[in-house]
Amino acid sequence: MQKDLSNYRKSYEKSELTEEAIKENPLEQFQKWFYELEASEGLDEPNAMTVSTIGLDGFPKSRVVLMKKFTFEGFIFYTNYQSEKGRAIASNPSVCLSFFWPHMERQVIIKGKAEKIAENLSDGYFESRPHGSKLGAIVSDQSEVVPSREYLEGKLMALEQKFDGAEVPRPEYWGGYLVRPISMEFWQGRPNRLHDRIRYSLQEDFDWKIERLAP
């Protein structure tokens, strides 16, 4: 089986990224791009990002999760700490986040260190989730092998009865991670594959070094 994709081509011509126009701080530049993305209304779930970790088996693994907050400290997402992702981060907190916004012909690639956020912050976000999502966090032994879909639905039905009309507490094994960036690259598609790539690198004095990369 084979399929030739060599004719899949597109000319990127929507914008540019220049040193004169960018912010001095990459978190401010990210905020600028994200607000522009929201205003464009051209993408479902603009907060979807790929999280890459180094697994316990030595292989990198990437998956899409939803960013739930960004601040001057970094980027926050939530997951099961006992999942494959959580175990990988516990072993090696070096991760990579990437955002791809095709209708704006942009990417952002972030290298950083992941750390658990404070429990009260995880409590606050968990309380804001819909009732069904709270139950789902308890039902799923994330990344573990299960016998069937019916097995999961049976566990959910039992929990629905248990917590009928009652508040669902956050499991200790579920919570948030903050990824503190040490490198952020902003990629803007340009014609003739001469894309703009601007990289911010965190220095020892906590200033950001700004460099242009060849496409």
CATH code (residue 191): 2.30.110.10
Domain assignment present for residue 191? The answer is yes
pTM (global) more than 0.85: yes
> Does any domain span residue 1?
no
In a domain, 152, yes or no: no
Q: What is the DSSP string of 45-106?
A: -TTEEEEEEE-TTS-EEEEEEE--EE-SS-EEEEEETTSHHHHHHHH--EEEEEEEEGGGTE
In a domain, 53, yes or no: yes
Q: Does any domain span residue 105?
A: yes
- The residues, ordered by sequence, that sit 6+ positions from 196 with a Cβ below 8 Å of its Cβ are 16, 17, 18, 186, 187, 188, 190, 212, 215
Domain limits for position 120: 26-128+172-213
Domain contains 186: yes
Element (H, E) at 199: strand 196-202
Active-site annotation holds for 193: yes
Residue type, 1: M
Alpha-carbon span 121 to 125, nearest angstrom: 6
In a domain, 20, yes or no: no
Tens digits of residue pLDDT in 135-148: 999 998 898 999 99
Q: How many domains does the chain have?
A: 1
- HSE-up of residue 199 (Cα within 13 Å, Cβ side): 13
Q: Which two tokens stand for residue 204?
A: 């020892």
Sign (positive/negative) of CA torsion 133, 136, 142, 145?
negative
Catalytic residue among 106, 193, 197, 212: 193
| DSSP secondary structure code for residue 191 in this structure | G
Q: Which residues of the chain have pLDDT under 70?
A: none
User: Quick one: pLDDT at residue 11?
Assistant: 85
In a domain, 3, yes or no: no
Q: CA-CA distance, 123 to 129, in Å (whole number)?
A: 10
pLDDT in the model for residue 42: 75
Q: How far apart are CA 95 and CA 75, in angstroms?
A: 12
